[in-house]
Structure 1
Amino acid sequence: MTVRILQNPWRLLLAVNAVVIVGVFVHKIQLPPYVPYIHLLVDYHFGFIKRALIGAVVALFTAKVPVWLVFALGGATWLATSALYARLFQNTFGFTARTLPLFVFTAGSLLFVATAALFSIILVLIHHIHLLMYVPTIVTIVVIRHYLAHGCNRTNIAFGAIALVAVSALFLAAQFLGTMPIPEADFVGYLKTRMADPSRTDLLQFAYIWYQPLAKEISDTWGRLPHNILGVPVFALLIWLHTPLWRFFASLIGALASDLHKRLVIAALIGISLAYLVMFAMVFDYSRWISNWAVCMFLILHAVKMLPAARETELIPAEDRKTNISGLVITLIPRVGIVRPF
């Protein structure tokens, strides 16, 4: 029995992943929710400002924001995201014994473009850095799933260009016009009126981020660089552990029937990665950027799988010893962290 599990451990690894997720959530509950909580307090009371969409939505339902709402919203988001990704994986590859290794490693109209633009706008209103973090991936998926699948004409090209300009303009407005128009003391005073427990002033210590200019963020990032750069070998190791997945991805691209599709996908991957390099130079949440970059790669993989292929791509082998070891190590790593590894 033990030998059989070691030879094909993927069902066990999925169970371990589930336990790890629960453990990380319990760990998070015990930490003070400094940044997430204040984002639930900030709204558009003083006009258009950056990072205020979530707080504005919360304000529609409650005048006082309890701390537990951070964990309720976070937990619900985790569950919804997990369910949606499971559905995406099922639609793309299906759930069988042969596709389990791949799942562990990754744990046709204008309406499609309009929906993508709407989600991009929402992401930018939540946090303007999402323009670099997720919007390039959304654009890539739209190109693959809509323009390459249904063809290009003047109407859909113009619609896509207008949507892209609108999202970019919103980013510029949030970045350069979205600072708080009142003194920080008055801002903090208003946030206290929205707190269920105004005595928890420790949860307002990050109010300064609504006043911090881009130049200061870049300066802080470069000031921390000598220390944070020490985590790069760990990031490289984590990426290397996903080698079976990257090989499968490369084979998937190589199997595409159209050379144009291959070139566009490769160019998109380079563009998305360059956007993350820009984030590395601007904001120091390096561990988070690595994780989000990997998520973007996984999403592009699913989009590429939907393109016409000249041949079938072999899945990640389920009984390869090196692959099993990589999957086991990845599964046992509970979290990557936000700024520094783990």
Structure 2
Amino acid sequence: MGLRSWAWTAAASLTAVVGAGVSGVESTGAAGKVPTVFLGDASIGSFGIAPVDGDALLCVRAAENLPDVVEDQLADQAILLDITADVSCAGARLNHVWEEQDLGGGLTAAPQKRALTKDTRLVVVGLGAETAGLDRVLSQCSVRLRGPEGALLPDAPVDAKSPAGECAAYFSNGAGAAWLEARFEETAKDLDKLFSEIGSESPSADVVMVGYPRLVPEDRERCRTELPGGAGRPLADVPEAAWPVLDDKVQARLNTLMAAKARRHGARFVDLYATTGAATACDGTDRAVGGLLEPSGVTLHHQTFPWFLRANETGRDGNGDTVAQSIAAMYGRGPA
């Protein structure tokens, strides 16, 4: 609730949630353009990249986010999108496609599926990490995230009584392993429902599911190197024993699940995990992911947001280009 509570304080002067819900969405795109809707969480909204869109403050959505990059890249290939809605919102889970998202202070974001219409022809969606519990795993494994520095994360540790330094064992045995298994069972069910909801609202739309970029490289030695600028280690105080948990038990497993569900439902899957292994949070000046608790570019009300292992500007641009290439291939441009 930290992020949402802060956002309510920062936006207390607003009389309504702007940009979080959907109102007045056009049902048809401009002539020659593809009516397109983006659904998603912070990975689509580009959390941490300044400036923040003033009409989507509570969702901490960047003014120039991944959809903007995708649109620009496709325009260069003469594929024009009419983005009728971008309802991506930090902290969104899969169920927020069909349920309201609590933003704190009694404010909510409307169910994201309200952006969809019968005239929508392309749906790009990036959701799943929050449902699978990525941020709760991070909080479980970090003393710093359990303190004031983690106040802006939307989720608390799974079990605050279990020491952060023992989180690798916690998620490998007993209660933590059972919790993680339950999260993935729910994620699998919610992914099926996601595609069903999209199909019901926009039966003629092509669907593109965007995976998540890799956070921890295969060569984990690189994660021992300090971030440029003296911002600490890329994974902050997450124990080295937990790095495989973050990568294998959460990220790789989620990527595999998302890819399988996309195939099952006839959607296109953009495998960012497979293409970003050389630009993880642990790759120094080449990193495309902000290091855990590294200061981001967003400062609101004199408070700087830290990165929570989200794509930085380099990552946004690279990921957007990869998504655009995948969409272009759907339209017969470039490799399939």
TM-score > 0.5, shorter chain as reference: no
Decide which structure has the larger Cα Rg and report it. Answer: 1
As a proportion of its length, which structure holds more strand? 2
Q: Tell me the TM-score normalised to structure 1 length.
A: 0.32
As a proportion of its length, which structure holds more helix? 1
Q: Tell me the TM-score normalised to structure 2 length.
A: 0.32
